[in-house]
Structure 1
């Protein structure tokens, strides 16, 4: 299967008065054509920083990509100039942000805002761009399921509901037919009914356009509905990655199991939620061993000393955990 995005050993840090925050620490994953990869984890684990790194939207300063590569169809985005990145953003890779009101200009009509991308990226005259943009904006509103698109294009963002505004943001992201779509918590601010509609919209759009999607979320219910593969992040690292079935039915990392136990179950009325005890590590001085070790009920001595390498359980399923590494006993003996 064709790889659209290949991230290899990505490190991102932020300079603060308190020191260097190691926000992303050696993240690696691939995104294949036409698939949805969900990146999940608790707040502060590095999900959004990873997605913004793909778009080269990390504010510099204080943030910077210190090492690693981000390959888009074989081209390393970390080595491109800002001018070349502007050509890629919106045209080849688009992003949907969490709050649609921060992505929409309250002083411009919706039609003008949807059309901006075409006017930015199409190599045609301004008059032809405006004409094409108007036609394309109409098509986009139809694609994302907004009724009466002709009238709605003339309205301002405040005249739309939250769910409809999110559909407009999706239309803006798709107008130039990007090959990769990054959705950063796209349903967080929406109620459950509208959330379900937006998720159905994502699946429908993917079937029609074959776009590859990176979905950033902390909601495992969302992941269960739309993801093909799931990457679980903790303290700036991916601790487990696999297919949706791998993660939900045969999770192997204690953190992944803890996330799943903390999700309410409607089929188990008397069951209690089991929280993950403790707190994430300080990323000013991250531990050299497994970051989850202080919170892990199965911790071994080796976990505090050395970070586990990736263990391939099968072709689609990998985990960073000493419990799954057959060499753990040897290392325990060595460091004792």
Structure 2
């Protein structure tokens, strides 16, 4: 399969008055053409920071981004300047931000915001710009698109605003789309519609999607592969079947056990005890060791290597390390 994005040893730090926060600590993963990769984990585990680093949106100062490579096709984004990022932002790589109400400018019409990317990146006539804008509003399922272009964000419902943000992200036909919790603020019915829209758009355009969420129900519906993040690291990655039916890391198992199930209504939920580690001073061994019910002495002292379970399933856990199993 053709890799659209390859990240190796991504590290993001933020300098604060209290010291250096290691928000992302050596994250590595690949995204293949036409697939949806879901990145899941608790709040504060580094999901959004990772996506912002890919997009070149980490402010410096206070943030510092380092990586062995961040390859988008044949371009190494880790060497890009702000000017170079501006050339690909919205055109080749696009992003859907968490809250559509704050992502949209309340003083500009939908038409102005929707066509900004086209006017910046494509040399086409005003008539073609308007035609493309109407086409995108049709694609995301908004009725009367010509009239909608003249309206302002406050005249739309939450679900409609989310569709508009998706249209803005897709109007330049990017090859990579990063969706940062795109359904968090929506009710269940609208959420289902947005997920169906993602699947339909991917089928039509072949766009590769990174979906950032902590909702495992959303992941189960549209993801092809899943990367589980904890304390700034990718601790397990595999296909949807691997992660849901054969989770290897105790943290992944804990996440799945924390989700309510209709077939286990009489049983109590099993929360993950404890709290995530302080990223001002991360622990020397496995970051999950202090909360892990299966932790061994080595877990607290040495960081585990990545172990391959199969071709697509990898985990960073001493319990799966062949040296311990021997």
* Counterparts of 1:136 and 1:267, CA distance in 2: 47
Match of 1:151 in 2: 147
Stretches of 4+ moved more than 3 A in 1? none
Post-superposition CA distance 1:138-171 (Å, at most 9, x none): 0000000111111111111100000000000000
* Counterparts of 2:218 and 2:93, CA distance in 1: 22
2:226–2:240 Cα contact (<8 Å) kept: yes
**Secondary structure in 2 matching 1:230:** strand
State whether structure 2 residue 37 is matched by structure 1 residue 41.
Answer: no
* TM-score normalised by the chain length of structure 1: 0.95
* Counterparts of 2:120 and 2:128, CA distance in 1: 12
State whether structure 2 residue 164 is matched by structure 1 residue 168.
Answer: yes
Cα RMSD over matched residues?
A: 1.0
Post-superposition CA distance 1:249-293 (Å, at most 9, x none): 000000000000000112222121100000000101101100000
Structure 2: tracts of 5 or more residues without a match: none
* Counterparts of 2:56 and 2:69, CA distance in 1: 12
Q: 1:319 aligns with which of 309, 315, 320?
A: 315
Match of 1:22 in 2: 22
State whether structure 2 residue 104 is matched by structure 1 residue 104.
Answer: yes
Q: 2:243 aligns with which of 247, 252, 265?
A: 247
Q: 2:263 aligns with which of 260, 267, 276?
A: 267
Q: Which segment drifts farther, 265-274 or 43-52?
A: 265-274
Match of 1:115 in 2: 115
Structure 1 residue 329: Cα displacement? 6.0
* Counterparts of 1:266 and 1:166, CA distance in 2: 29
Structure 1 residue 67: Cα displacement? 3.5
Match of 1:217 in 2: 213
Match of 1:90 in 2: 90
2:67–2:78 Cα contact (<8 Å) kept: no
1:26–1:68 Cα contact (<8 Å) kept: no
**Secondary structure in 2 matching 1:290:** coil
1:25–1:236 Cα contact (<8 Å) kept: yes
* Counterparts of 1:72 and 1:232, CA distance in 2: 21
Number of residue-to-residue matches in the alignment: 326
State whether structure 2 residue 43 is matched by structure 1 residue 81.
Answer: no
* Counterparts of 1:57 and 1:117, CA distance in 2: 17
* Counterparts of 1:67 and 1:15, CA distance in 2: 18
**Secondary structure in 2 matching 1:31:** strand
Structure 1 residue 223: Cα displacement? 0.4
* TM-score normalised by the chain length of structure 2: 0.98
Structure 1: tracts of 5 or more residues without a match: 331-336
Match of 1:302 in 2: 298
**Secondary structure in 2 matching 1:327:** helix
1:98–1:188 Cα contact (<8 Å) kept: yes
1:308–1:321 Cα contact (<8 Å) kept: yes
Q: Give the 3 Å change call, closer, same or farther, for CA 318–178 of structure 1 in structure 2.
A: same
* Counterparts of 2:91 and 2:228, CA distance in 1: 28
1:35–1:228 Cα contact (<8 Å) kept: yes
* Counterparts of 1:228 and 1:322, CA distance in 2: 26
* Counterparts of 1:279 and 1:77, CA distance in 2: 33
* Counterparts of 2:65 and 2:8, CA distance in 1: 12
1:302–1:328 Cα contact (<8 Å) kept: no
1:184–1:216 Cα contact (<8 Å) kept: yes
Match of 1:6 in 2: 6
Structure 1 residue 131: Cα displacement? 2.2
1:309–1:320 Cα contact (<8 Å) kept: yes
